[in-house]
Homo-oligomer: A and B are copies of this chain.
Amino acid sequence: MKLATIKDGSRDGRLVVVSRDLRRAVGAGSIAPTMQFAIEHWGWVSKPLESLYDALNTRAPMEAFPFETRHAMAPLPRTHQFVDASAFLNHGEILTRAMNVAPKLSPGVPVLVQRQSDEFLGPCDDYPLRTESDNADLEGEFAVILDDTPYGCTAGAAQERIRLVTVLNDMSMRAHVVRELQMGFGFFHAKTAPVFAPVAVTPDELGGAWQDGRVHLDLNISRNGEWFGQPNGGEMDWSFGELIAHLAYNRNLRAGTILGSGTVSNRDWRKAGSACLAEKRALEQIAFGEARSPFLKYGDRIRLEAFDGEGISIFGAIDHVIVEAR
């Protein structure tokens, strides 16, 4: 099943069911007015929503309308908890090699970052940058959206609480990362609002690409129409279930919690490219002795998208332009 949230002027938008080919949508208001409501009442609403999805794929109900990405908000335009992992160790290792930034990691303990969840941007919203000298960067990630997950949950049970999967561009302001990392209390100026794909899908929608609590899909990324990377989500060093269990060690996680994978990163980067400029620049530093790719500029256009075996865009595309904040 594919779900999206359409702009209607409200903070939480309006839930719609989207056809598998992303061409059509139908309002889900009679079942669940918002995505937050749907996640909170999943046991009651998922079956009726699936029926609507089946109808939308097999015939076009009269109430269906064309689905346009530019009208989409983030699937959850805001939520009560967003945690971003850094679950591809390869990414951290490359940055450490190039930049002499070595956080004191504990073996076996995943890197997680508690993040703001009061405002997520939609896939085609202009991205307001305060100044180019903040060294803006993209970060392509997969993410999961959780139902209520209890205190002390195991990795296996945690994985069963995953309701939806999506993609995000977790924008970073690299000029602030090292300073905030050295302080040790997490990120503020380094981490502005993330941008989400238009569509979130149930794990079954991924078929064989959803395995071991990982998304085994290439995340295709371009900058100004030029290939940037297509790293695969399967190389995560922790499964989403393991990350959730770590989080739930001594707290409940409540419905709507979003957990990001961290920048997708592959060991075979020559083939896969990167999902962020920091890593690409670090690889350039190692190879050429200097970083060659500039950070994001006003007017830069970023696109992120993943496809199924038939070449259909699974989550729709993030396709947004960096603009000067007013």
Q: Which listed segment binds B: A210-218, A253-261, A279-287, A294-302?
A: A253-261
Kindly state the separation between the CA atoms of A113 and B191 in the bound complex, as whole angstroms.
13
A325 at the interface (CB under 8 A from B): yes
A151 at the interface (CB under 8 A from B): yes
Beta-carbon contacts under 8 Å, A20-42 to B: 40
With both beta carbons as reference points, the residue of chain B lying nearest to A114 in the complex is identified as B114
> Closest CB of chain B to A183's CB: distance in Å?
6
Checking B112, B128, B185, B246 against A113 with a beta-carbon cut-off of 8 angstroms, the contacting residue is B185
> Closest CB of chain B to A202's CB: distance in Å?
22
Q: Which listed segment binds B: A48-56, A59-67, A101-109, A311-319?
A: A101-109
Chain A binding surface, main DSSP class: loop
Whether the pair A189, B249 counts as a contact (CB closer than 8 A) is yes
Whether the pair B181, A185 counts as a contact (CB closer than 8 A) is yes
Whether the pair B109, A183 counts as a contact (CB closer than 8 A) is yes
Can you give 7 A-B contacts (C-beta < 8 A)? A78-B80, A103-B183, A105-B183, A106-B183, A113-B186, A186-B187, A189-B249
Additional 8 contacts, C-beta under 8 A, given A111-B183, A114-B116, A250-B325: A103-B183, A104-B182, A112-B185, A114-B115, A118-B253, A130-B151, A185-B187, A188-B247
In order of increasing CB-CB distance, the 4 nearest A-B pairs are A186-B186, A118-B254, A80-B118, A81-B118
